[in-house]
């Protein structure tokens, strides 16, 4: 069995994170929490690559619609006015399309992060999806105030700086997708963590 320190997760600094000059800040927050960067690269994704990165199942697409809907209900916005439908799968499909456009619009930084409970730890450091809800002290809470109310009005995805895998299974799929090449992931010992 692998050491608990070898759990891996996949992270992308999204176009808004790069364009806000937050690459160093974001890396620092993972490293200071004893997470080890074991692969790192700047790249531009094609729309097709982003399409195979994000799940295509209705359940995942509906969840995008539900996340928008929750904010609309909270602030009394009308989902039908913005999307012409209240069907959350149809809303989710529109949002997914904006997401693919956004994630292929400019350079990003992709990485593999390794450490104890890396998947959960990195999600905690990043914060929840909607920056307006994210606590201060999280990356999304400290550097963005975006919300689906204004993102949808501008017909774009919510700008929330970072992508991070949500489960070990998602991490495995994403690491293979983005760092599948042999030799792309490195092994080294961090002082104070590995020795």
**Active site residue ranges:** 163
Q: How far is the CB of 78 from Mg ion (least distance, A)?
A: 26
Q: How far is the CB of 152 from ligand UDP (least distance, A)?
A: 7
Q: How far is the CB of 116 from ligand UDP (least distance, A)?
A: 21
Residues that bind Mg ion (CB under 5 A): 166
For residue 112, give both structure tokens. 């593999």
40, containing H or E segment:
strand 36-43
Burial group, residue 7, by CB count within 10 angstroms (0-12, 13-18, 19+): buried
Segment interacting with ligand UDP, rule: CB under 6 A, options 28-36, 72-80, 107-115, 151-159 = 151-159
Question: Which residue's CB comes closest to Mg ion?
Answer: 166
Angle at 184 between CA 163 and CA 112, to 5 degrees: 25
Sign, CA torsion 180/184/187/190: negative
Report the site for ligand UDP in 29-88 (rule: CB under 6 A): 63-64, 67-68
Count of residues that bind ligand UDP according to CB under 6 A: 14
For residue 132, give both structure tokens. 């307006």
At residue 159, what are phi and psi to the nearest 5 degrees? -85, 110
Task: Please pick, from the candidates 157, 171, 175, 179, the single residue that binds ligand UDP as defined by CB under 6 A.
Answer: 157
Say whether residue 138 binds ligand UDP (CB under 6 A): no
Say whether residue 151 binds ligand UDP (CB under 6 A): yes
Segment interacting with ligand UDP, rule: CB under 6 A, options 18-26, 38-46, 105-113, 159-167 = 159-167
Nearer to ligand UDP, 9 or 68 (CB): 68
164, 169, 174, 180: CA torsion to nearest 10: 140
Task: Please pick, from the candidates 5, 87, 116, 129, the single residue that binds ligand UDP as defined by CB under 6 A.
Answer: 129
Contact 179, 112 (CB under 8 A): yes
Burial group, residue 115, by CB count within 10 angstroms (0-12, 13-18, 19+): buried
Q: Which residues lie near ligand UDP (CB under 6 A)?
A: 63-64, 67-68, 95, 99, 129, 148, 151, 157-158, 160, 163, 166
């Amino acid at each position: 069995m692998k050491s608990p320190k070898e759990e891996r997760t996949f992270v992308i600094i999204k176009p808004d994170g790069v364009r806000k000059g937050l690459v160093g800040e974001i890396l620092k927050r993972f490293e200071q929490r004893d997470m080890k960067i074991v692969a790192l690269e700047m790249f531009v994704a094609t729309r097709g690559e982003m399409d195979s990165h994000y799940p295509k199942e209705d359940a995942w697409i509906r969840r995008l619609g539900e996340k928008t809907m929750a904010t609309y209900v909270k602030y009394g916005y009308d989902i039908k006015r913005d999307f012409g439908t209240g069907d959350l799968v149809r809303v989710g499909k529109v949002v997914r399309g904006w997401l693919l456009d956004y994630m292929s619009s400019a350079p990003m930084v992709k990485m593999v992060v390794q450490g104890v409970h890396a998947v959960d730890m990195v999600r905690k450091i990043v914060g929840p999806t909607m920056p307006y809800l994210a606590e201060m002290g999280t990356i999304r809470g400290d550097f963005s105030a975006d919300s689906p109310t204004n993102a949808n009005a501008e017909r774009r995805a919510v700008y929330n700086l970072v992508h991070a895998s949500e489960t070990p299974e998602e991490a495995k799929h994403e690491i293979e997708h983005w760092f599948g090449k042999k030799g792309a992931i490195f092994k080294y010992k961090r002082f104070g963590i590995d020795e």
